[in-house]
Amino acid sequence: MQEIIKQNALSIEKSRPGRRGIRFEKPQNTPDAYVPARYLRSHSPRLPQLSELETVRHFTNLSRQNYCLDSHFYPLGSCTMKYNPKAYDVLSTLEGFTQAHPFAPEDAVQGTLEILYNLQEMLKEITGLAAFTLQPAAGAQGELTGILAARAYFDAQKDKKRTEVIVPDTAHGTNPATSHMAGYTVVNIKSGPDGCVDKEALKNALSEKTAVVMLTVPNTVGLFEKDIREIAEMVHAAGALFYMDGANFNALIGVVKPADLGADLMHLNLHKTFAAPHGGGGPGSGPVGANEKLAAFLPKPLVEKKNGKYFLNSKLPKSLGRMKAFYGNIAVCARAYCFLRQYDAATLKEIAENAVLNANYVRVGLKDVFPAFFDVPCMHECVLTLHKDKMNGIRTADIAKRLLDYGFYAPTIYFPLIVPEAMMIEPTETESKEMLDLFVKAMHCIFEEAEKTPQTVHDAPHNQPVGRIDEVSAAREPNLRW
């Protein structure tokens, strides 16, 4: 049995001297003809030596071990891991997009500019905001863009006393980091017992020092801020700006326009609500919208249209400048454009309604075993916790590992921080009732295991390529090379 090939062996462990998949002709000119000798390696790098077949099998087997949206239910809360239509992938990888040089003259990329312009107009219509930039390459960069635009606005007003940004404890974790990076002092406020902003705490925090209030809507416990219009009025009465984190916009698209709620600025995640693939740090796109008084401060250039032609307008004297070397993540923008061209307003509303319905279906289905921390109807995601007295020492991390054995990717765990042993589950609108039923059944099975055979859950996963590891040691003493 020891002779059986280790499928999980590293490529370097499978290496055998002399094996190769391709032969290269010997170069006519050696590197030392162009590079000083002191910069050349003294010996060849130690690389795996495998045949082409061995290489193909190695990486094919690795790919089969991955959990991905195309193979498994992926209820990663706050990430909106919805299905990404393959037609969008085909269209966004047309040579006209992928082979265009970033510095190509405007006349040569009129088609791309037209798509970007139309996408901006669509986002303006959906949100009710006056202008959009597509530059930011991620939601976090979108946040930073919005806060820097707010800072540029106050600088133009010569208002130097506004040095604080208020962030509720139910905001996305990037909000306080963004504010700090922009040079502001972060003021955290607690949420109320209902999981929404405590208006009294907000009132006490607001002052002439307040520049921006950042509100994640729906918030990270999956609830809509029911007093959002009143909150916006309080913010504006204090002379501050209201920034809406739109990462959770999948619950609102086609239902409500953030501008109607009082938002001055917001970012959207095209790689979430608008069905572009994401994960592992990219790709992403976080367009930022602004109302009329802040539009002039968005990054330049903006895509504009004049006399039937599209162009990049850099003549924006109040702009905060560039946030990215090139205009934006064109492939993700093209996918979002396809998404919005495919659906009308009624269907976009249906998407949001089904996302909300699916989340509440899971919440109610698990109510008896893993109750929601706030036991009220949620929006696009539900945040569950544990019956501590029934779990025999089993924690959320154990449940997440055991779910892998049942063929499901784990939900987001231990976030938001205000919920003990949190499990944040976002089914999205693309999952069927049958899949949700299977997930709910698996969670019930795990609950029963925790009661009767807790060691089974504690030692999970059992049927994965890699078992339970010492995560603390792995984080503190990582082995980064073989």
Q: What is the pLDDT along the chain (482 residues), one digit of tens a residue?
A: 444 555 678 899 999 999 998 887 877 777 667 888 888 888 888 899 999 999 999 999 998 888 888 899 999 999 999 998 999 999 999 999 999 998 899 999 999 999 999 999 999 999 999 999 999 999 999 999 999 999 999 999 999 999 999 999 999 989 999 999 999 999 999 999 999 999 999 999 999 999 999 999 999 999 999 999 999 999 999 999 999 999 999 999 999 999 999 999 999 999 999 988 887 666 789 999 999 999 999 999 999 999 999 999 999 999 999 998 888 899 999 999 999 999 999 999 999 999 999 999 999 999 999 999 999 999 999 999 998 888 999 999 999 999 999 999 999 999 999 999 999 999 999 999 999 999 999 999 999 999 999 999 999 999 998 888 888 898 899 887 76
pLDDT at 1: 43
Q: Which two tokens stand for residue 29?
A: 């000119």
175, 324: one domain: yes
323, 352: one domain: no
- Number of C-beta neighbours around residue 91 at 10 A: 16
Q: What CA–CA distances, in Å, run from 388 to 73, 289, 366, 422?
A: 27, 43, 15, 12
44, 192: one domain: no
CATH of the domain at 272: 3.40.640.10
For residue 85, being part of any structural domain is answered with: no
For residue 118, being part of any structural domain is answered with: yes
pTM: 0.91
Q: Which residues have a Cβ under 8 Å from the Cβ of 420 and sit 6 or more positions away?
A: 373, 385, 386
410, 262: one domain: no
Q: Give the angle subtended at the CA of 84 by the CAs of 356 and 302, to the nearest 5°.
A: 95
Residue 449 near residue 402 (C-beta atoms within 8 A): yes
240, 115: one domain: yes
For residue 170, being part of any structural domain is answered with: yes
Q: Which two tokens stand for residue 358?
A: 């699916």
For residue 71, being part of any structural domain is answered with: no
235, 202: one domain: yes
398, 450: one domain: yes
d(C-alpha 434, C-alpha 386), whole Å: 25
pLDDT at 6: 58
**Which residue among 342, 357, 375 closes a domain?**
342
154, 211: one domain: yes
For residue 73, being part of any structural domain is answered with: no
For residue 74, being part of any structural domain is answered with: no
154, 203: one domain: yes
**Which residue among 342, 367, 389 closes a domain?**
342
Which residues form the domain of 54? 11-65
d(C-alpha 361, C-alpha 391), whole Å: 23
292, 147: one domain: yes
CATH of the domain at 364: 3.90.1150.10
Q: Which residues of 185-200 are buried (b: 16+ CB within 10 A; e: fewer)?
A: eebebebeeebbbbee
Q: Which two tokens stand for residue 103?
A: 């510095």
pLDDT at 280: 64
pLDDT at 281: 61
For residue 82, being part of any structural domain is answered with: no
Overall number of domains in the chain: 3
For residue 78, being part of any structural domain is answered with: no
Identify the residue whose tokens are 């030596």.
Answer: 49
Q: Is the peptide bond before 218 cis (omega within 30 degrees of 0)?
A: yes
**Which residue among 342, 366, 394 closes a domain?**
342
pLDDT at 470: 85
227, 276: one domain: yes
What is 417-473 written as a DSSP string? TTSTT-EEE---TTS-HHHHHHHHHHHHHHHHHHHH-HHHHHT--SSSSS----HHH
119, 59: one domain: no
